[in-house]
Structure 1
Amino acid sequence: MVPRQRDGGGRASAPDRDLVIDLARFFCLAIVVVAHTMMVSPVLHPDGTVTSDNTLGNQRWFEPVVWVLQVMPLFFVAGGMTGLQSWRRLSARGGSTFDFMQARMLRLIRPAAVLLAVMFTCLWAAQLSGVDPEVVQLLVTGAGMPLWFLAAYLAAQLNLPLLARLHARAPLLTLAGLTSLVVAVDCLRGMLPALAYLNMVFVWCAVQQIGFFLADGGPLPGRPALAAIILASNLVLGFLVWLGLYSGNMLVNLNPPNLTLVLLGISQAAALQLFRPALARIAALGWLRRFIGLAGRRSMTVYLWHLPLLAAMSGLLLLTDFPQPDGGTPGWWWGRPLVLLAVIGLLLPVLALFGRLEERPTAPVTAGSRPAAAVVTAAVVVFIPVIDAALGGLTLGLLGGGAACFALAVLLLGRIPARLLSDPGPGGSNPPLPHPPLSANVEP
């Protein structure tokens, strides 16, 4: 059980944050940002064309490293833990599935709508000013890469209330059913390649479901059993790779995702529990706790903006006489820390301008919930450009259309009624939802 903070009168006021989950999320975000600075490597050819090389991904030694540092499953395990807790608290307040969907979409698509609008405006202006359309398309494709995560995470979270009910009735059967769907899609994707994108939902819902088991707070396997789970899941994964059924490169397995990421999710969830005592001591350090708390409140903004800023900076440097070492050379590697510092420097004003969009938007206490039809319509509107981009690729026109769709969805969703976020009245038995700054790992 998570301990509670106490107010001056000694009463329990709100659940403490799970610092280990905060630390895990920060670690995942840091790995993603650092890795992207080592992957994006635009190349200006003598004929004036520009291409982009994945320098880190092309290194042979990186394949076993990314097996360990492929942290996307851990993102979804943590999302399952905090999402299930949020759903239970919200439903205890009398909130509905559509209230949960409304809150989740607002939290995620408000910052994304601004990103898409800014990207479209800047790249459209660049194209009008004479920048080669191929360069613009390259920037569109690269800078839009973080949006796949947003779409996958949102799809998993919107299904969370249904999956939570199934988990309450038959937890192991629900996870087995989702995993079976993943395997079925993997078996059929050779005949119907487009079918593979169904695993954007099935894979990440299955990994999210693993987080439900950790969120339940019941008896978990001991340390030897957790170590055995880590070993067994990686052995099965290695055997499937050895048979040639899947690639050993976990970047290849990421888009569209497949069974390997479910196995990694099991391994990473077990590792999180195995090392939890040590991680808790690290996360409890005062300075680190404050820093991670600050970063956590702006994590979606960091994730969405870091790659567009990196792509824009790299593209602009090609137009200057600034030294451009070839990707993979010693000079290129020595320059990566400077690139990382530059990206962080560019992120700071972006966080100041747009970071508050992640905070929960609340309406007056008297406001009612949005109609179910409005919430469902908003979800459809959001996923129309997402599905189009997945099947046909992201273009400048689709970027503008996506910005318009996301803005329309925000208007349809309105604002979250404060009654769903307030504490129960005197004598209420339900645990309170925390007020900003958040005091528990529950997202609005």
Structure 2
Amino acid sequence: MGVPQQGRGGGPATIPERDLAIDLARFFCLAIVVVGHTMMVSPVLHPDGTVTSENTLGNQRWFEPVAWVLQVMPLFFVAGGITGLGSWQRLSARGGSAFDFIQARMLRLIRPAAVLLAVMFAGLWTARLAGVDPEVIQLLTAGAGMPLWFLAAYLAAQLNLPLLARLHSRAPRLTFAGLAGLVVTVDCLRGMLPLLAYANMIFLWCAVQQLGFIMADGRLPDLGRSALAGIIVASNLALGLLVALGLYPGNMLVNLNPPNLALLFLGISQAAALQLFRPALTRVAAVGWVRKVLAVAGRRAMTVYLWHLPLLAAMSGLLLLSGFPQPAGGTAAWWWGRPLVLAAVVVLLLPVLALFGRLEERPTSSGHVRGRPAAAVVTAAVVVFVPVSDAALNGLTPGLLGGGAACFALATLLLGRVPAPAPAVAEAPVACNGVPKRRRPQALRRS
């Protein structure tokens, strides 16, 4: 089933409800991130009592070329562009507005984040009252708060999606080129204005999201396998040239925060690879048990992403404070222990998913309740981005955890509940951006 839309050639097309290949790609990305983080976090207690954290995996020279392949964050945003555009098209075909879309997207993302911040705030202040060294608490806070940058970047990209979809439908190449040009401009000026580099948290990830639009509207799928393979080779060669010239680091973890043009080339390569292997991914995802796993994981993906690193940091901190003997990071014993650490994180995630996983599901209301006023939606967005921006620029602190939890809770109250779909339409041809061209009213139905 899909929502009718007008294809590029003028014929009818449909907007699929789910794309199994994209679901599998997103699950793969999430698994890579969780596994990668278990191999990076390595707190160290020094003889003088100070505590530091080492990125064991990231400090390995051999890992740089591996990270070139396994830096999957661009693929997250490509997939988000595909699914987000489909959601926007279906909503707009039912008469929904951009503010309805933003309201739904924000609620889906900030409700689980609000609970996470509140639990972290309560837990860390309890530890501080219990006499835990403030230095240890700050280290745990900084490490556990790392996933929040993704929340900020993904929110920024998704909240701009309706506008970017309209621009894409009118001038797809110009829109993508404009965003890429802004990325390059920020990279050129970041030496003189270091804080300006964080503007690419918006420009870069919106540009990568546009690659998802290009895949969704049929432009990339029209290319043959040879052309897709050529795009993969060309984008990696261009990226390699930028690294060889010394313009960007070869370590894709370094290029991630703040993001830069290197990740855009990586995103182009990953989008082409996703399209190239899409038939194979679809066949794998269609297997019964795989499809069931993807259905469950898809409904809880943001909860897993937000909670896995705080749980890992808390577990590592408790082991450190307990005096439990731990091998030095990077030693053979440390590497052999990583599967146990991963298994422990998965076990800890299970009760968290049971308790808080439902917060991620799309909330609906009975009857045809109108969406929140535009002013409330805009105010909620500002309220959310104030603590998130502070954390991105100055780092996360226990106090900011509490303030962030309060801001996220306030934003949730401002947004209310997602309204039920607008009255269905009998015929609603839409353009690539999902803007209805004409509508034929139909009797009102309750959802």
TM range (shorter): over 0.9
Shift of residue 364 of structure 1? 2.5
The answer as to whether partners of 1:2 and 1:18 remain within 8 angstroms in 2 is no
Distance 1:364 1:275 in 2: 41
Match in the other structure for 1:332:
334
| TM-score, length of structure 2 as denominator length | 0.91
Give the secondary structure class of the aligned counterpart of 2:222: coil
Give the secondary structure class of the aligned counterpart of 1:165: helix
The answer as to whether partners of 1:361 and 1:416 remain within 8 angstroms in 2 is yes
Distance 1:357 1:182 in 2: 34
Matches within 5 A, 1:40-439: 40-218=41-219, 220-420=222-422, 424=424, 427=426, 429=428
The answer as to whether partners of 2:15 and 2:89 remain within 8 angstroms in 1 is no
The answer as to whether partners of 1:77 and 1:209 remain within 8 angstroms in 2 is yes
Shift of residue 322 of structure 1? 2.8
C-alpha offsets along residues 96-155 of structure 1, whole Å, 9 cap, x if unaligned?
A: 111111000000000000000000010011111111111111011000000000000000
C-alpha offsets along residues 137-176 of structure 1, whole Å, 9 cap, x if unaligned?
A: 1011000000000000000000000000000000010000
Give the secondary structure class of the aligned counterpart of 2:329: coil
Which amino acid is 1:390 matched to?
A
Give the secondary structure class of the aligned counterpart of 1:416: coil
C-alpha offsets along residues 48-98 of structure 1, whole Å, 9 cap, x if unaligned?
A: 111100000000000000000000000000000011111111111111111
Shift of residue 321 of structure 1? 4.2
The answer as to whether partners of 2:232 and 2:269 remain within 8 angstroms in 1 is yes
Which amino acid is 2:78 matched to?
V
Shift of residue 220 of structure 1? 2.0
The answer as to whether partners of 1:233 and 1:266 remain within 8 angstroms in 2 is yes
The answer as to whether partners of 1:33 and 1:306 remain within 8 angstroms in 2 is yes
Distance 1:289 1:138 in 2: 39
Distance 1:414 1:393 in 2: 30
The answer as to whether partners of 2:91 and 2:421 remain within 8 angstroms in 1 is no
| TM-score, length of structure 1 as denominator length | 0.92
Which amino acid is 1:393 matched to?
G
Distance 2:368 2:76 in 1: 35
Distance 1:276 1:3 in 2: 22
List alignment gaps of at least 5 residues for structure 1: 5-12, 432-444
Distance 2:200 2:16 in 1: 34
Distance 1:169 1:14 in 2: 19
Shift of residue 428 of structure 1? 5.1
Shift of residue 16 of structure 1? 5.0
Evaluate the alpha carbon distance shift between residue 325 and residue 194 of structure 1 in structure 2; reply closer, same or farther with a 3 A threshold.
same
Distance 2:354 2:184 in 1: 44
Shift of residue 3 of structure 1? 11
Which amino acid is 1:124 matched to?
W
The answer as to whether partners of 2:15 and 2:90 remain within 8 angstroms in 1 is no
Overall identity of the aligned pairs, in %: 79
Give the secondary structure class of the aligned counterpart of 2:132: coil
Give the secondary structure class of the aligned counterpart of 2:421: helix
Distance 1:16 1:48 in 2: 55
Distance 1:418 1:166 in 2: 27
Shift of residue 288 of structure 1? 0.9
Match in the other structure for 2:438:
none
Shift of residue 15 of structure 1? 3.8
For the aligned residues, what is the CA RMSD?
Answer: 1.9
The answer as to whether partners of 1:109 and 1:406 remain within 8 angstroms in 2 is yes
Distance 2:369 2:285 in 1: 38
The answer as to whether partners of 2:93 and 2:428 remain within 8 angstroms in 1 is no
Distance 2:204 2:246 in 1: 20
Match in the other structure for 1:440:
none
The answer as to whether partners of 1:93 and 1:430 remain within 8 angstroms in 2 is no
Evaluate the alpha carbon distance shift between residue 255 and residue 14 of structure 1 in structure 2; reply closer, same or farther with a 3 A threshold.
closer
Give the secondary structure class of the aligned counterpart of 1:380: helix
The answer as to whether partners of 1:22 and 1:296 remain within 8 angstroms in 2 is yes
The answer as to whether partners of 1:156 and 1:208 remain within 8 angstroms in 2 is yes
The answer as to whether partners of 1:178 and 1:205 remain within 8 angstroms in 2 is yes
Give the secondary structure class of the aligned counterpart of 2:322: coil
Shift of residue 323 of structure 1? 2.8
